Structure 1
């Protein structure tokens, strides 16, 4: 091949790379705009529950190509990668950039145990022994006695669990919640027993701590599973089911937020079945800080299937709390992963 032919071929490759890079940037911008309306518009809801990692796959090919033949395309590609990270809610620990305030500290762990069907008690107990949380909140626990599969680290523990009863109207079992706390439990109130009910499955605890009473909510909201599966089957009722599920979770979230009221200090944790990209997540939990978004690193996926992973388990903190660190724990035999957070109560810090 002579020099002219080579230059022609190289020019064609350069133009193709530039066009594909711009097309990728436009695609990511459109994707980001669409998922902004998750839980308001059913296609956007489906997208936030779909695998997000593939959104970055084109960059794995285009970035090396641009570096070789079209370096001016690296700028649009970098912007596309940043927007793709935002669209899939990749988190940076921004709280690590500032000094941690003085105050009352607590480590909280939450996990949906999925009725402990495949519980790995060794992995769960090892996690508890290594991380030594102060408060443990479990949803969908099945064992009649938590100590039968839950070995708490040394210390004086206070525990509470709810009964698992069946609803005739919802044709489902009530969530069985477990609380294990190093702090005395002053009060408990069951605000809802069934995750698919208008109230959701919600328990409010009041713990006696060195900082005074702390209100903690253990939460499990409605699953989007039926609607998403109907869409995948191309069922005609799929879109309606997806939107109905979003509406139920909005009502449930609003109810929990109202129950929390102006309580301070307040913590809300559990399986909200809502990704952080959701428009309704932003609206209903506007007065709270998502621990992983402020102090976690990466995507923080907490629920895994064979084809997808999504972050639906959260730790939310009310005003006055600072999260120093938040991370996702290992597999303990549930499709949900534990979420842990190191929290500091420092109301004078102005957060």
Structure 2
């Protein structure tokens, strides 16, 4: 993944992480034990990758608002997502509009492209849009950042 910290005009930090987890297994020889071993191995890998990303993201221990998004290469609500911090929400589950699936672009049957954000951010809308230059649809997610009052 790639990460950045953006400092907002009021000096509060916003962490943004872009990721692309290991590609999924695409096999249909379900009678083969090798097929199931491959599926199990990629699920373990996704869990390990997410754990490492979350650990690195929160290593500073700061309370910065955080956005983690990209191609998770696993379906929404997959068990591997259980490693996401409790203070983060799936933007589409929170404020999704329409058909949120992103893969594949021409006939989207899964939602591997996701945006997760910490609760300091309010998800106002999240939706998928057909694209011309990718095999996945684009995720559009609008977030609102709470404005802190400096009056006392």
TM range, smaller chain:
0.7 to 0.9
Q: Are 1:323 and 2:114 matched, yes or no?
A: no
- 1:233 aligned onto 2:29: yes
Distance 1:345 1:204, change over 3 A: same
Cα 1:284/1:299, change in 2 over 3 Å: farther
Distance 1:211 1:326, change over 3 A: farther
Q: Give me the TM-score of the superposition, normalised by structure 1.
A: 0.38
Paired residues of 1:296 and 1:326 also in contact (CA < 8 A): yes
Q: Where do 1:109-188 residues align within 5 Å?
A: none
Higher helix share: 1
**Equivalent of 1:302, from 94, 99, 102?**
102
> Aligned to 1:310, what secondary structure does the other structure show?
coil
The answer to whether the aligner puts 1:244 opposite 2:44 as a matched pair is: no
Cα deviation, residue 308, structure 1: 6.1
Name stretches of at least 5 consecutive residues in structure 1 with no aligned partner.
1-201
Tell me by how many angstroms 1:305 deviates: 7.2
Q: Is the 8 A contact 1:319 1:347 kept in 2?
A: no
Gaps of 5+ in 2: none
Tell me how far 1:266 sits from its aligned partner: 1.2
Decide which of 56, 61, 75 is 1:275's aligned counterpart.
Answer: 75
Shift of 1:211: 4.1
1:224 aligned onto 2:24: yes
* Structure with greater proportional strand content: 2
| Contact 2:98–2:127 (Cα < 8 Å) also in 1 | no
Matched, 1:284 2:64: no
Matched residue SS, 2:133: coil
